[in-house]
Chains A and B, each alone.
Chain A
Amino acid sequence: MNLDFSDDQKALQDQVRRFLAARCTSAAVRAVAEGPQLFDRALYAGLAEMGVLGVAIPEAYGGLGLTHLELCLVAEELGRAIAPTPVASSIYLAAEFLLQAGTEAQKQAWLPKLAAGTAVGAFAFAEGQGETTPARIKTVARGGKLTGEKAAVLDGDVADVAIVAARTGEGDGPEAISLFLVDLAAEGVTREAVTTIDPTRSYARIAFKNAPAEPLGGAGEGWHIASQVLDRAAILMAFEQVGGADRALEMARDYALDRMAFGRPIGSFQAIKHMLADMYVSATLARSNCYYAAWALSAGAAELPVAAATARVSATQAFLHCAKNNIQVHGGMGFTWAFDCHLFYRRANALALALGSQSVWEDHLIARMRAGNAAEAA
C-alpha cells in the first residue's frame, strides 16, 4: 500500500506549478475575466508545448503517454492557479470520451489536435433546469442530424468539436440516449455566449438545427459511456478543486498573518485561527479522498465509481468552504473586485455545478455504495 505520488510525478507537478506561477498570474486571469478574449490562448499553447495537455493521451495519438496520476497533479495546479483555459472540457471530457468510446478514425482525427491544443473539445450534456436525466434530454438525432438546444456548455463557444448527448430512442430510460461527435463549425450549429457567475471561463448555449453529427460509441450506449467519462472527469476536477481550496486557504492564512486589528495580527484571534483550522481539515479530507480516487482512476479499479463520487463530493465541499471563508478572513477587502478572493469564490461555485451539482453527486455516491453492498450480499 502506498497512497502518495512518486518523486517523478511530484517533480512534474512542481514544473507545472512554476510555469503557472509565471504565466498564469492574477493579471492574466483578470485579462480573461475583464477582456474580450474567451480564454488565455497563449497560456493554453504554453501548456500544450510542455506536453501537459496530452500527458495521459497515448503517444500514438500525439500525447506523452504517461498516466492519469500525472494528469491529476496537473489538474491540481490548474485549480490552484484558477487557470482560464479549457483543459477540463477538452482533456478531462472530450479526450476521455474519444479514448473510451471513439473509433480509431475518430481518435486519429481529434486526439492529436486536442493534445497539441490546436483544437478544443467540449461536452454538451445538460438541457434546461435541474439534474440531467435521460428524460430531460430532448435534443434528437435522426438520420445523422441533430436538433435541440444545450444549456451552459462549458467552453461551448471556444470549442471546435463537441460530444453531444442526444435522444435516439423513446422513453425515459438511459437506453434512449446516444452520443455524437459534432463539428461545431458545421452548418446548423448556432452558439451564443452566456454570462455566468465565473467570467474567467466561457460558457455557451448551443442550438442544433439539423446539424450533421457522427455517432460516438454504440446506439443507446450514450448514457452509460457518459456516466463512465463523467466519473473520470469528476476525479480530475476534484483535483482542481483541491488545488483551489489549498490556494484559498493559503491566501487567508497569509492575510491573517499580515492584517492587524486591536494591536494584534487578526490571525492571533481564535475565531480566525479556528476558521482556518477547519478550512485545513476540509481541504485535507478532500485531498485524501482524491488520492484514493487517483489510484482508482489510474488502476481502473472496481472501486472507481464510489471513489469518484467520494472525491467529487468532498472536494466540492472543501473548495466552497475555503473560498467563502477566504472572503470572510479578508473582511471588506475580500469583497473588492481588486482582491482575488472573489475569483476563487466564483470558480469554486462554478466548478461545484459543472459535471452535475453537489446533490446529484451525493446521490450517486449513496446509490453506488448501496449497489456495492447488494453485490457483496449476493
Chain B
Amino acid sequence: MDFNDTPQEAAFRAEARAWIAANAPKHLEAELKRASFGSNGIASEDPLKAAKAWQKKKADAGWACLHWPKEYGGGARSAIERVIWGQEEGVYGALSGPFVIGHGMCGPTVMSWASEEHKRRLLPPLASGEEIWCQLFSEPAGGSDLAGLRTRAVKAEDGSGDWIINGQKIWTSGAQHSDWGLLITRTDPNVPKHKGLTMFFLSMKTPGVEVRPIKQANGKSEFNEVYFTDVRIPDSQRLGAVGQGWEVSLTTLMNERLSIGSGMSTGFPELFRLCMEMEIDGRAAVDDRAVRSKLAQFAVRQSGLKYTGMRAITALSKGETPGPENSIGKLVAGATMQELAMFALDLQGQSGVVWDETSPQNGRFQAMLMRSPATRIEGGSDEILRNIIAERVLGLPADVRVDKNVPFKDIPTSGRTKS
C-alpha cells in the first residue's frame, strides 16, 4: 500500500512533465480551461485539426497509446505510467476526444483479432490520430440487445469471397469524421441470434456507405445514422471466424467499459469551485450547511471512483485481468454527473435556467445537465450495467431470455401483441 510514486514512476512523471511543458499547444490552454462540458472548447481553430496535431506530436515522440506495443504505434508503457501520463497531460487530455473510441475500443479489438499484416497497417495511424475509427454496433433493432442487430452480410455470388453488406447502423459517434469502422453484421439468420454474427472492419469511404448526422437532445450532432447499400468488402477484412462476431464484440465492449468508466469525471471539482465562488446574500454557497452536506455526498462518490480505478490499475499491474466489476465506473459517474448538474442549477435559483455566457463557468452545468442523460445510456445503460454486476460479479441468475434458443428469423419484433 503506497500512494506515492516509486522512484521509477517519479522519473517517468518528470520525463512526461518536461516533454509536455516543452511541446504542448500552449496557445490553446486558455480555451481548453474555459471549455464547458462535452467539448474541448476550441474556437480559434478547427478543433479536430488541433486534436490531430497534438496526437501526432505525441505519437512521433512515443507518447501516444502508451500501453500499446511499440510496433503498433504505442509506447509499451505500464498501466500505471498511463495513469501518470493522464495526470500530467491535464487540460490537453481534452484534445483526445475524437480518438477515444478508436484507442479505447476499436484498437484493442483489432489487436486481438486482426492478422499481423493488418495490425501493422491499421494500428500506427490509429495511434497517431491520422486515422479515426468509429464503432458500428448499435442499430434501430439492437442497442442493449445488441445481438438483435439486422444489418446483413452475405457472400457475393461472383465467387470472389467478398461480402455484400446491406442495412443500417445508428448512434454511431464520430462517423462523420471517421476513416475506418468496426462493423458487426448478421451472416446467418437461421441460428439463434448470438451465433449468426460476424465482425468486419471497413473504410468509411467504401462505396455504398452513407453517413447522416442525427441532431441530439442537447442540440449537438455527434452521433449519426450509417446506411449500407450493397457495400462490398473483401473477406480479408473479417475479424474472427464467420459466426464468431459476438465473441469478438465482447473484446470491444469489455474495453469500452474500462475506457469509459475509470477516468470519468463527475464534475465534482467544478461544483466545489462553484460553491466556493458563488455568493448568496453575501456569503459563499459553501457556508451553508445543507450545501456542504450535498457536496460531501458528491465528493465521496468522486473519490470512491478515483480510488476504485487505482485499485483496478494496481490489480492490472500485478497481472490480473480487469473483470466485470469495472462496470461500476460509468454507472456511478453518469448518475452522479446528472444529479450534480441539477444541484448546481438549483443553487443558481431561478437563474439556473439561463444557459449563456453569463451562466457560472460558462454554462458548464447546463451543458452537463443536457449531456448526462446520454452517459447513462451509451456503452451499456445503467440497467444493463446493474445486470452485469448482479449476474457476473454477484452470481445471481441471468434474466429470463425468451429468445435464447430461437432462430433469429423467428424472434418477435414488436412489443405489442395483437389482440
Docked-complex contact A369 and B272, CB < 8 angstroms: yes
**A42: CB under 8 A from chain B?**
no
**B48: CB under 8 A from chain A?**
no
Residues B277-334 near A (CB distance < 8 A): 286, 289, 292-293, 295-297, 299-301, 303-308, 310-311, 313-315, 317-318, 325, 328, 331-332
Docked-complex contact B328 and A281, CB < 8 angstroms: yes
A334 CA to B391 CA, complexed, in Å: 23
The answer to whether residues A280 and B314 also contact, given A313-B296, A365-B300 and a CB cut-off of 8 A, is no
> Which residues of B lie under 8 Å from residue A280 when comparing CB positions?
328, 389, 393-394
**A336: CB under 8 A from chain B?**
no
Task: Tell me the minimal C-beta distance from B257 to chain A in angstroms.
Answer: 14
Interface size on A, residues (CB 8 A): 52
The answer to whether residues A3 and B292 also contact, given A285-B301, A288-B304, A289-B303 and a CB cut-off of 8 A, is no
Partner of A365, one of B83, B299, B396: B299
A1 CA to B5 CA, complexed, in Å: 5
Docked-complex contact B396 and A366, CB < 8 angstroms: no
Interface size on B, residues (CB 8 A): 53
6 additional contacts (CB under 8 A) given A253-B394, A274-B387, A359-B289: A5-B1, A257-B395, A270-B383, A276-B394, A295-B3, A313-B297
Nearest B-chain residue to A253, judged by Cβ: B394
Docked-complex contact A69 and B1, CB < 8 angstroms: yes
Docked-complex contact B296 and A362, CB < 8 angstroms: yes
> Which residues of A lie under 8 Å from residue B315 when comparing CB positions?
4
> Which residues of A lie under 8 Å from residue B417 when comparing CB positions?
none
The answer to whether residues A1 and B310 also contact, given A295-B3, A301-B3 and a CB cut-off of 8 A, is yes
Partner of B304, one of A257, A264, A284, A363: A284
**B397: CB under 8 A from chain A?**
yes
Nearest B-chain residue to A67, judged by Cβ: B1
Which of B80, B296, B393 counts the most A-chain CB atoms under 10 A from its CB? B296
A270 CA to B385 CA, complexed, in Å: 12
Chain A residues with a Cβ under 8 A of chain B: 1-6, 69, 249, 253, 256-257, 264-265, 267-268, 270, 272-274, 276-278, 280-281, 284-286, 288-289, 291-292, 294-296, 298-299, 301, 309-310, 313-314, 317, 359, 361-363, 365-367, 369-370, 373
Docked-complex contact B1 and A268, CB < 8 angstroms: no
Task: Tell me the minimal C-beta distance from A304 to chain B in angstroms.
Answer: 12
A45 CA to B315 CA, complexed, in Å: 36
> Which residues of B lie under 8 Å from residue A314 when comparing CB positions?
300, 303-304
A2 CA to B5 CA, complexed, in Å: 9
Docked-complex contact A310 and B310, CB < 8 angstroms: no
Task: Tell me the minimal C-beta distance from B381 to chain A in angstroms.
Answer: 12
Residue contacts A-B, CB under 8 angstroms, 12 given: A5-B1, A257-B397, A273-B394, A274-B390, A285-B300, A288-B307, A291-B311, A295-B1, A299-B2, A314-B304, A366-B295, A370-B286
Docked-complex contact A317 and B286, CB < 8 angstroms: no
Task: Tell me the minimal C-beta distance from A55 to chain B in angstroms.
Answer: 15
1/0 per residue, CB under 8 A from A, across B3-23: the answer is 111100100000000000000
A291 CA to B314 CA, complexed, in Å: 12
A280 CA to B276 CA, complexed, in Å: 33
A131 CA to B304 CA, complexed, in Å: 26
The answer to whether residues A285 and B400 also contact, given A362-B297, A370-B286 and a CB cut-off of 8 A, is no
Task: Tell me the minimal C-beta distance from B124 to chain A in angstroms.
Answer: 29
> Which residues of B lie under 8 Å from residue A69 when comparing CB positions?
1
Docked-complex contact B397 and A268, CB < 8 angstroms: yes
> Which residues of A lie under 8 Å from residue B399 when comparing CB positions?
268, 270
**B386: CB under 8 A from chain A?**
yes
> How many pairs of A and B residues are in contact by the CB < 8 Å rule?
163
Docked-complex contact A4 and B304, CB < 8 angstroms: no
A362 CA to B398 CA, complexed, in Å: 38
> Which residues of A lie under 8 Å from residue B308 when comparing CB positions?
284-285, 288
Docked-complex contact A3 and B310, CB < 8 angstroms: yes
A285 CA to B336 CA, complexed, in Å: 13
Q: What secondary structure prevails in chain B residues at the interface with A? A: helix
Task: Tell me the minimal C-beta distance from A215 to chain B in angstroms.
Answer: 34
> Which residues of A lie under 8 Å from residue B296 when comparing CB positions?
309, 313, 361-363, 365-366
Task: Tell me the minimal C-beta distance from B70 to chain A in angstroms.
Answer: 24
Residues B208-235 near A (CB distance < 8 A): none
Task: Tell me the minimal C-beta distance from B67 to chain A in angstroms.
Answer: 15
Nearest A-chain residue to B311, judged by Cβ: A3
> Which residues of A lie under 8 Å from residue B398 when comparing CB positions?
268
A272 CA to B397 CA, complexed, in Å: 11
A4 CA to B1 CA, complexed, in Å: 5
Partner of A292, one of B3, B318, B383: B3
A278 CA to B295 CA, complexed, in Å: 21
Docked-complex contact A362 and B304, CB < 8 angstroms: no
Partner of A286, one of B6, B304, B395: B304
> Which residues of B lie under 8 Å from residue A253 when comparing CB positions?
394-396
> Which residues of A lie under 8 Å from residue B300 when comparing CB positions?
285, 289, 310, 313-314, 317, 365
Partner of B303, one of A274, A292, A301: A292
Docked-complex contact A363 and B289, CB < 8 angstroms: yes
Partner of B314, one of A3, A256, A265: A3
Task: Tell me the minimal C-beta distance from A238 to chain B in angstroms.
Answer: 11
Docked-complex contact B304 and A285, CB < 8 angstroms: yes
Docked-complex contact B396 and A273, CB < 8 angstroms: yes
Docked-complex contact A277 and B389, CB < 8 angstroms: yes
A352 CA to B5 CA, complexed, in Å: 34
Docked-complex contact A268 and B396, CB < 8 angstroms: yes
Docked-complex contact B387 and A273, CB < 8 angstroms: yes
Which of A273, A276, A365 counts the most B-chain CB atoms under 10 A from its CB? A273
A363 CA to B288 CA, complexed, in Å: 10
Nearest B-chain residue to A290, judged by Cβ: B307
Nearest B-chain residue to A366, judged by Cβ: B292
A373 CA to B286 CA, complexed, in Å: 13
Which of B6, B311, B318 counts the most A-chain CB atoms under 10 A from its CB? B311
Docked-complex contact A285 and B332, CB < 8 angstroms: yes
Task: Tell me the minimal C-beta distance from B66 to chain A in angstroms.
Answer: 15
The answer to whether residues A1 and B328 also contact, given A298-B1, A299-B3, A310-B300 and a CB cut-off of 8 A, is no
Which of B292, B304, B310 counts the most A-chain CB atoms under 10 A from its CB? B304
Task: Tell me the minimal C-beta distance from B334 to chain A in angstroms.
Answer: 12
Task: Tell me the minimal C-beta distance from B174 to chain A in angstroms.
Answer: 30
Partner of A4, one of B303, B311, B394, B397: B311
A367 CA to B315 CA, complexed, in Å: 33
Docked-complex contact B307 and A278, CB < 8 angstroms: no
A363 CA to B294 CA, complexed, in Å: 10
Partner of A284, one of B5, B272, B325: B325
